[in-house]
């Protein structure tokens, strides 16, 4: 009886939990000019910044969503509106089976409450319609109460979006640009915005225009530039009141997209929406989810995760002074905001121009104390604020008590990998490739590479720029990112070989393949020495159901190797971020675990000159080794010639990194005699003689 009662209570509890999780929600739905232009037959015919506080006469869009359920009979209702309002729904559209959009025009100043229902489930939203005040030189304005924010804003680009263009004789500024370069501009509304006041665009662009416009059209010009109300909504009903959406602050990218997403010159929000839509599903080379999709937001129900797993959480962490733990890494905030995906304002502070591009990051450190600054790593320092290990690897990877389901660098250690820092202690001075400093902006140099947001046919590119993707979902790589330093690298990163001591077969399987393929092979080799769970997944956890080890005991040796495995796996570049460091880590871990690799290091210091050494041994039979040095990356060819000058074999013909290399020649099938070997790299040529005696 007790068992039946327990099961009944469990069923009731589960049923309640399921019902409790089912709901509907209603939100604003921002639309950019790009979306408006995409389809002339849908309901989206005017752009909308997605704010709940808008100018009177604005056409707004609202979306109703089914949350953990499916629609039965969804319905929008205007519950309340100003007494003289004739507002009603203009059109509806189904975005998918569980998302429905409606549009309406808020035609009178005041408050509107719209409800979305489906059966017994209900959600509502309040919209405020007001008029714009602008920033007059005297009288009430946003700066009256928010003087410090206004002072910071005045140093940003948004505070100066008219004068540089009207006063530039060589510019191309036109009257239609004012729609985004001013505040409250809406040709379809009478909201006391810029376009509701007298103004005549200058006949010619010339120095002094702006001051003349201020004198001639003061009412319009007090609404010039992208002011507070452009992003927070009109302030006519605010006066310290924020209830009923009388003033709002939104982190949504739709606010920025209303101006920054149109035509061929403004595409950043459209690119950002592609973030994470890459080759993950194509061949595993990517990060499914990305900044905009926010697949990682599920972790934000924990205080310590919020600063890097939630856009709103990161902004809150900045506002609270960047609280940190003993390692200098992000710690929990006093207030945990509702989780959100990453948006424009996550990384860019609309009110603060201290850093380049108004980025929010400040000097910080990796878990081992390595300092990350804008001075050394440029704008890439913003990325490393979150894309860093949460461990001090040298001590963490020694302690067997750290074994857990989330053991490792946890979970985005790209900054540590790129700089070749914060690794387990193998008593090695780790070699490191220069990708972190070569271009001046670390991560940004490659992940945002590209001169245009569009291809030759006018299609939006799905990599580079604010996508941050290195490839698209069809597996096409942004090889343009490599060209400034490496020249032609082929059509895919997977083709690019990495040579150590003249050898590209780094995993020892007998085939010289691209770096990413070789690193994958080394990871698989390391995995054979590590404990796994019943599904064959590497898991450094004492309670795991191990199938490849005699017992579940962990040792410092296993911990170090496990950390390396997850460090390389979670970096997700398969060696590209830092080829030398990645290979060295994997070699050290495999060697200590008792395995072997196809890697033998020559001198790790970069040579300052080209050189071609005498082969050894010489004379030889049947094989000999040729050592050469190249001080910079470039096309390298090493060939063997007979005494008549005929090329009999090409030993190397690749684009290679700077370094010291050894290459072997097996002359088993050649006759005894004198041979010559030649090194060619860029403008350097050197030839030496060797003797084969059988």
**25-34, 183-192, 302-311, 538-547, range with the lowest pLDDT:** 538-547
| Phi, psi (rounded to 5 degrees) for 130 | -140, -165
Check pLDDT > 90 for residue 545: no
Residues ≥6 apart with Cβ < 8 Å to 687: 612, 676, 677, 678, 679
Per-residue model confidence as pLDDT tens digits over 213-260: 999 999 999 999 999 999 999 999 998 899 999 999 999 999 999 999
State mean pLDDT over 127-143. Answer: 93
The H or E element spanning position 262 is strand 261-262
How many CB atoms within 10 Å of residue 295? 12
Q: Calculate the average pLDDT of the chain.
A: 90
Two tokens, residue 60: 């707004």
State mean pLDDT over 7-25. Answer: 53
Output the pLDDT for position 658. 84
Output the pLDDT for position 548. 46
Strands in 107-190 per DSSP E: 110-118, 121-130
Check pLDDT > 50 for residue 15: no
Read off the pTM.
Answer: 0.83
Two tokens, residue 618: 């010489």
Output the pLDDT for position 605. 66
Two tokens, residue 162: 């008219």
Q: Would you place residue 11 in the very low, low, confident or very high pLDDT band (cuts 50, 70, 90)?
A: very low
Q: What does CATH list as the number for 611-692?
A: 2.60.40.1930
Structural contact between residues 409 and 393, judged by C-beta atoms closer than 8 angstroms? yes
CA distance 125 to 81: 12
CA distance 350 to 353: 8
Output the pLDDT for position 7. 38
Q: Would you place residue 660 in the very low, low, confident or very high pLDDT band (cuts 50, 70, 90)?
A: confident
Output the pLDDT for position 596. 74
Output the pLDDT for position 288. 61
Q: Which residue's structure tokens are 């665009």?
A: 201
Output the pLDDT for position 321. 95
Output the pLDDT for position 299. 62
CA distance 23 to 261: 32
Quick check: helix, strand or coil at residue 409? coil
Structural contact between residues 387 and 367, judged by C-beta atoms closer than 8 angstroms? no
Output the pLDDT for position 265. 85
Tell me the CATH class for 23-130: mainly beta
State mean pLDDT over 613-620. Answer: 89
How many CB atoms within 10 Å of residue 534? 10
457 vs 180, which has greater pLDDT?
180
Output the pLDDT for position 582. 97
Q: Are strands 364-365 and 266-267 parallel, antiparallel or unpaired?
A: unpaired
Q: Would you place residue 9 in the very low, low, confident or very high pLDDT band (cuts 50, 70, 90)?
A: very low
> 594's torsion region: left (phi>0), alpha (psi -120 to 50) or beta?
left
Output the pLDDT for position 549. 44
Please report, for the chain, the start and end positions of each structural domain, with discontinuous segments joined by +: 23-130, 142-233, 280-294+341-592, 611-692
137 vs 510, which has greater pLDDT?
510
CA distance 527 to 507: 13
Per-residue model confidence as pLDDT tens digits over 279-307: 776 676 666 667 877 767 766 667 888 99
Two tokens, residue 662: 């050894």
**5-9, 37-41, 92-96, range with the lowest pLDDT:** 5-9
- Per-residue three-class SS string for 350-407: CCCCCCHHHECCCCEECCCCCEECHHHHCCHHHHHCCCCCCCCHHHHCCCHHHCCCCC
Q: Would you place residue 10 in the very low, low, confident or very high pLDDT band (cuts 50, 70, 90)?
A: very low
With b for 16 or more beta-carbon neighbours within 10 A and e for fewer, the 356-378 pattern comes to eebbbbbebbbbbebebebeebb
Partners of 62 in beta bridges: 28, 102
Percentage of the chain beyond pLDDT 70 is 92
Q: Do domains 23-130 and 611-692 have the same CATH topology?
A: yes
């Amino acid at each position: 009886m007790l068992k039946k009662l327990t099961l009944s209570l469990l069923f009731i509890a589960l049923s309640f939990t399921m019902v409790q999780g089912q709901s509907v929600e209603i939100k604003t739905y921002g639309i950019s000019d790009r979306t408006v232009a995409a389809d002339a037959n849908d309901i989206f015919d005017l752009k909308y910044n997605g704010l709940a506080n808008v100018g009177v006469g604005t056409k707004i869009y609202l979306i109703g969503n089914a949350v953990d359920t499916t629609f039965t009979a969804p319905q929008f209702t205007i519950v309340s509106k100003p007494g003289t309002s004739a507002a009603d729904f203009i059109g509806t559209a189904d975005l998918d089976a569980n998302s429905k959009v409606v549009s309406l025009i808020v035609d009178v100043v005041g408050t509107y409450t719209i409800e979305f229902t489906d059966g017994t489930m209900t959600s509502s939203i309040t919209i405020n319609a007001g008029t714009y005040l602008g920033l007059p030189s005297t009288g009430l304005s946003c700066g009256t109460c928010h003087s410090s924010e206004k002072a910071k804003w005045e140093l940003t680009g948004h505070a100066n979006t008219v004068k540089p263009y009207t006063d530039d004789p060589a510019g191309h500024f036109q009257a239609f640009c004012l729609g985004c370069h001013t505040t409250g501009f809406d040709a379809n509304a009478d909201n006391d915005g810029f376009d509701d006041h007298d103004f005549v665009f200058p006949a010619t662009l010339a120095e002094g225009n702006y001051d003349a416009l201020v004198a001639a059209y003061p009412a319009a010009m007090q609404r010039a530039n992208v002011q507070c109300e452009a992003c927070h909504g009109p302030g006519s009903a605010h006066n310290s009141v924020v209830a009923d959406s009388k003033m709002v602050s939104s982190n949504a990218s739709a606010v920025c997209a209303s101006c920054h997403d149109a035509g061929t010159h403004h595409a950043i929000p459209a690119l950002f929406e592609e973030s994470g839509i890459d080759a993950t599903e194509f061949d595993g080379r990517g990060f499914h989810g990305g900044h905009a999709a926010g697949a990682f937001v599920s972790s934000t129900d924990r205080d310590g995760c919020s600063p890097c797993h939630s856009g709103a959480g990161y902004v809150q962490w900045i506002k609270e002074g960047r609280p940190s733990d003993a390692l200098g890494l992000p710690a929990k905030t006093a207030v945990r905001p509702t989780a959100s995906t990453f948006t424009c304002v996550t990384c860019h502070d609309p009110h603060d121009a201290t850093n380049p591009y108004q980025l929010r990051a400040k000097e910080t450190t990796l878990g081992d104390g390595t300092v990350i600054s804008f001075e050394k790593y440029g704008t890439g320092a913003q990325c490393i604020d979150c894309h860093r290990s949460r461990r001090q690897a040298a001590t963490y990877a020694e302690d067997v008590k750290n074994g857990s389901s989330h053991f490792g660098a946890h979970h985005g250690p790209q900054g540590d990998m790129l700089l070749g820092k914060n690794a387990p202690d193998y008593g090695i001075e780790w070699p490191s490739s220069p990708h972190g400093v070569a271009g001046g902006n670390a991560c940004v140099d490659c992940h945002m590479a590209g001169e245009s947001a569009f291809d030759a046919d006018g299609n939006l590119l799905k990599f580079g720029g604010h996508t941050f993707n290195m490839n698209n979902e069809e597996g096409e790589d942004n090889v343009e990112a490599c060209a400034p330093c490496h020249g032609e690298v082929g059509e895919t990163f997977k083709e690019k070989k990495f040579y150590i001591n003249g050898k590209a077969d780094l995993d020892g399987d007998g085939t010289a393949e691209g770096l990413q393929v070789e690193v994958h092979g080394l990871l698989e080799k390391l995995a054979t020495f590590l404990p796994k769970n019943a599904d064959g997944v590497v898991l450094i956890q004492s309670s795991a159901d191990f199938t490849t080890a005699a017992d579940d005991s962990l040792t410092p040796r296993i911990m170090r190797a496990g950390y390396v495995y997850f460090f390389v796996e979670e970096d997700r570049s398969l060696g590209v971020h830092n080829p030398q460091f990645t290979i060295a880590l994997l070699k050290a871990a495999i060697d200590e675990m008792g395995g072997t690799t196809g890697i033998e290091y020559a001198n790790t210091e970069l040579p300052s000159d080209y050189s071609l050494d005498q082969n050894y041994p010489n004379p030889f039979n049947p094989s000999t080794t040729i050592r050469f040095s190249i001080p910079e990356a470039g096309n390298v060819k090493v060939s063997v010639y007979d005494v008549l000058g005929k090329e009999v074999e090409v030993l190397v013909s690749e684009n290679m990194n700077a370094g010291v290399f050894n290459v072997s020649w097996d002359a088993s099938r050649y006759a005894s005699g004198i041979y010559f070997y030649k090194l060619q790299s860029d403008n350097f040529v050197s030839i030496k003689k060797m003797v084969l005696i059988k």
